[in-house]
Amino acid sequence: MTTPLSPAQRLRRWSAHLWLWRIHRWLGLGLGAVLVLLSLTGSLLVLHGEWERILYPERHAVKAPAPGVGRAPLVPILQRLQEEAPAGFRPLRLEPGHGATASDKVIFVGPDRTSRWSAYVNPWTGEILWRGSDQSLITPWLLHLHMHLHAGKWGYVVTGLAAVALVGLSFTGLWITRDRWATLLRRPFRRGRGGRVAAGELHKWVGMVSLYFTVVLGGTGLWFAILIVPGQFRREPPPALAPPFDLRRLAPLEPALAAAAREFPGSELNRVVFPWDKGVRVQVRVLHRDAPVWEKQSRMEFDPETGAWLRTVRASEMSPAEKWRSVLAPLHFGFYGSTPVKWLYALGGLAPAVLAISGTVVWYLRRRRSRLPARAGRTGQEVGAAGRLSLSEANAETNRRRGAAPDGYRGARDCPDTLPRCARGCPHRN
């Protein structure tokens, strides 16, 4: 048998609940608009390859090669692109397309280490399908909007605060609704209770079923901010790049690709990193799409001039620090998973937007109701006619003004405080 709480215990519990509810409301109203923006752009980025092929087929789609036809040599393609790239830019990496009908993307980095110039290439013929500033493409533009709102270093601060807010909203919401989890699973939506109740139940239900995404997306986004923001406020300029590597000395890359395919059968080619700065080796990175999230990427390193193999780093043999760094992007974006995982991330990524919008609707309707003209003698029907509320909401509003218990009130199980205060504004009355 449960021991009844003393008045002091009920008061302390109510005070803690009220403070968490206020923090939840302040975080949602303060950064809700940013969370909506990050949620929408994040969902689009998860499936960027799919919708890019639909919007720009001339850039992303190529004709499948005949049987037995291999990739066009990469070094001549790099040399040709180097002649067309802006002055001071050098090859950074190759992002291969997924499938025989997808183009490859070659990215060049500028002298400031942040500028990008890119080109799309047919991997089978070497034809250049498009070239230009990388920031003029929609996916990099969306990525920068997602990362820093196109606002520079202060944009990183705002998105970092939004990540903190998302984690805080997840745990405060989990605590506030802890007594209603079973009800939400058994009967998530009740009919005929009015718009505010419907929006509140949608808010709670989405928050509960999407808890993984809100915690993981917020947590990994916060960790990205911790890694990036301090560097944005350093006063000393970044070190200058070494002189560009002479591409005439670059060894053929096809043997390295073949070695990686033999070493990791069943994997996908994910990146080819070029010697863009001093000490950078040629790296061939592969993706294990069906592997656990902490064992997604392995790599092989080669000497840029001789093409000799230097070392192999398997995902299963990485140090804990390397595994943690490699797990951030798969956990945050989800596009390294299988097709069902990608679609699940695209849908789950919309949860912060749904929660921010539904929470704002609940706050607005509750605020509008609290501003209705109070007249002690009015009935529920009169209140409903004046404020356009449903009959159940109107009766609850009449009871609230009279200081009476709302419908369904069950004493301390609903609210640890006294009845009059609960009837005036207890957050349990959703």
Give the tens place of pLDDT for each residue, 258-302. Answer: 999 999 999 999 999 999 999 999 999 999 988 888 888 899 999
Structure tokens belonging to residue 128: 């250049």
Judgement on whether residues 399 and 259 belong to the same structural domain of the protein: no
How far is residue 254's CA from residue 227's CA, in Å, rounded to a whole number? Answer: 35
Q: Confidence band (pLDDT; 50, 70, 90) for 182?
A: low
Check whether 195 has a pLDDT greater than 90: no
Clarify whether residues 355 and 395 are in a common domain.
no
Beta strand 268-273 with 297-302 is unpaired
**Boundary residue ending a domain (347, 371, 395):** 371
Same-domain check for residues 366 and 391: no
Residues found in the chain: 430
Task: Lowest mean pLDDT of 73-77, 212-216, 229-233, 418-422, name the range.
Answer: 418-422
Contacts of 424 (CB under 8 A, 6+ apart): 400, 403
Percent of the chain with pLDDT over 70: 80
pLDDT of res. 4:
63
Q: Are residues 32 and 98 in the same domain?
A: yes
Give the tokens for residue 70.
């291999």
Q: What is the mean pLDDT of residues 318-336?
A: 85
Task: State the average pLDDT over residues 4-25.
Answer: 72
Give the amino acid at 264. Answer: F
What are the structure tokens assigned to 159, written together?
Answer: 């998105």
Q: Do 90 and 119 reside in the same domain of the chain?
A: yes
* Residues with Cβ within 8 Å of residue 338, at least 6 apart in sequence: 289, 290
Tell me the one-letter amino acid at 179. Answer: D
Residues 308 and 411 occupy one common structural domain: no
Q: How far is CA 361 from CA 76, 87, 172, in A?
A: 58, 52, 18
CA distances from 245 to 49, 277, 281, 283, 299 (A): 31, 8, 11, 15, 21
Using the predicted structure, report yes or no on whether residue 131 has a pLDDT greater than 60: yes
The pLDDT assigned to 405 comes to: 45
74 touches 259 (CB < 8 A): no
pLDDT at 363 over 80: yes
Report residue 120: phi and psi, to 5°: -105, 130
Please say which residue of 322, 352, 371 terminates a domain: 371
DSSP conformational letter for 239: P
Which tokens hold the place of 327? Answer: 């797990």
Strand order in the sheet with 268-273: 128-133, 116-121, 104-109, 90-95, 268-273, 282-287, 297-302, 309-313
Residues 281 and 398 in one domain: no
Work out the average pLDDT over 219-239: 89
What is the C-alpha separation between 202 and 113, in angstroms, rounded? Answer: 45
Q: Tell me the mean pLDDT in the region 409-420.
A: 41
Mean pLDDT of 234-260: 91
3-state DSSP assignment of residue 289: coil
HSE of 264, CA atoms in CB hemisphere, 13 A: 25
Mean pLDDT on 174-193: 71
* 336 vs 49: CA distance, rounded Å: 12
Out of 345, 371, 397, a domain closes at 371
Q: Give 78's Cβ-side CA count (13 Å radius).
A: 26
Q: Are residues 83 and 118 in the same domain?
A: yes
CB distance 160 to 222 below 8 Å = yes
pLDDT average, residue stretch 131-141: 92
- The alpha carbon of 303 is separated from its chain's Cα centroid by a whole number of angstroms, namely 36
pLDDT at 420 over 70: no
State which amino acid sits at residue 45.
L
Furthest C-alpha separation in the chain: 92
- Other C-beta atoms closer than 10 Å to the C-beta of 266 total 9
Query: What's the pLDDT band for 142 if we cut at 50, 70, 90?
Result: very high
Same domain for 412 and 339, yes or no, is no
pLDDT digits 0-9 by tens, 83-104: 999 999 999 999 999 888 999 9
User: Distance between CA atoms of 14 and 189, rounded to whole angstroms?
Assistant: 26
The amino acid that residue 346 corresponds to is A
Structure tokens that stand for 189 in this block: 């939506």
Same domain, yes or no: 293 and 386? no
H helix or E strand, kind and range, residue 93: strand 90-95
Q: Classify the C-alpha dihedral 231-115-153-157 as positive or negative.
A: negative
Reported as a single tens digit per residue, the pLDDT across 40-51 is 999 999 998 889
- Chain-wide mean pLDDT for the chain? 83
Q: What is the pLDDT of residue 404?
A: 46
- Tell me the C-alpha distance between 386 and 393, whole Å: 12
Distance CA(52)–CA(38), nearest Å, equals: 19
> Which residue range forms the structural domain that includes residue 408?
378-430
Portion of the chain with pLDDT greater than 90, in percent: 53
The Cα 270–Cα 257 span in angstroms is 11
Q: Which residues contact 9 (CB under 8 A, 6 or more apart)?
A: 416
For residues 234 and 290, membership in a common domain is answered with yes
The CA distance from 130 to 152, in Å, is 28
Name every residue whose Cβ is closer than 8 Å to that of residue 373 and which is 6 or more positions away in sequence. Answer: 386
Same domain, 312 and 203: yes
Residues 79 and 247 sit within 8 Å (Cβ to Cβ): yes
Tell me how far apart the alpha carbons of residues 147 and 334 are, in angstroms, rounded to a whole number.
16
The number of domains in the chain is: 2
pLDDT surpasses 60 at 398? no
- State whether residue 64 is helix, strand or coil: coil
